[in-house]
Amino acid sequence: MTKKKLNSFSGLVFSTNPDMMKEEPPEQQDTAEPKAQKLRVRIEKKHRGGKTVTIIDGFDGTEDDLSELGKRLKTKCGTGGSAKDGEILIQGDYKDKVITWLKEWGYTQTKG
């Protein structure tokens, strides 16, 4: 005989308190200034079906600011990509151009 798995609630069945099940909003972290960011730019081909991808990681800030920087880089490169989980992926080999643009935009600690 197998035991049924209980749901993940903390044993609370019913409460008349309206604040009981409210979740705390996650803390919003501020985005560090560009000159304080330590971005790393690299090229990767593994696990991508032989396609080359430029990866920018080390971004310290909100997802909105990461997406905005990713959008700006994708527009400059004229190609697709994505920005999530602290990384920006640009389709193609744009390492040297990305480093140059990031330094122009104030990200002085960018390395390849």
CATH number at residue 89: 3.30.780.10
Beta carbons within 10 angstroms of residue 87's beta carbon: 15
- Against a cut of 0.75, is the pTM above it? no
The β-bridge partners of 55 are 42, 89
**16-25, 47-56, 60-69, 76-85: least confident range:** 16-25
Domain hosting 93: range is 35-104
Q: Give yes or no for a contact between 67 and 38, defined as CB atoms under 8 angstroms apart.
A: no
Count of domains forming the chain: 1
Q: Is residue 62 part of a domain?
A: yes
**3-12, 25-34, 47-56, 84-93: least confident range:** 3-12
Q: What is the pLDDT of residue 34?
A: 82
Q: Is residue 17 part of a domain?
A: no
Q: Is residue 6 part of a domain?
A: no
Q: Is residue 43 part of a domain?
A: yes
Q: Is residue 111 part of a domain?
A: no
**How many angstroms separate the CA atoms of 110 and 112, rounded?**
7
Q: Is residue 4 part of a domain?
A: no
Q: Give yes or no for a contact between 44 and 81, defined as CB atoms under 8 angstroms apart.
A: no
DSSP annotation of 111: B
DSSP annotation of 47: T
Q: Is residue 69 part of a domain?
A: yes
**How many angstroms separate the CA atoms of 34 and 42, rounded?**
19
Band (pLDDT 50/70/90 cuts) for residue 16 is confident
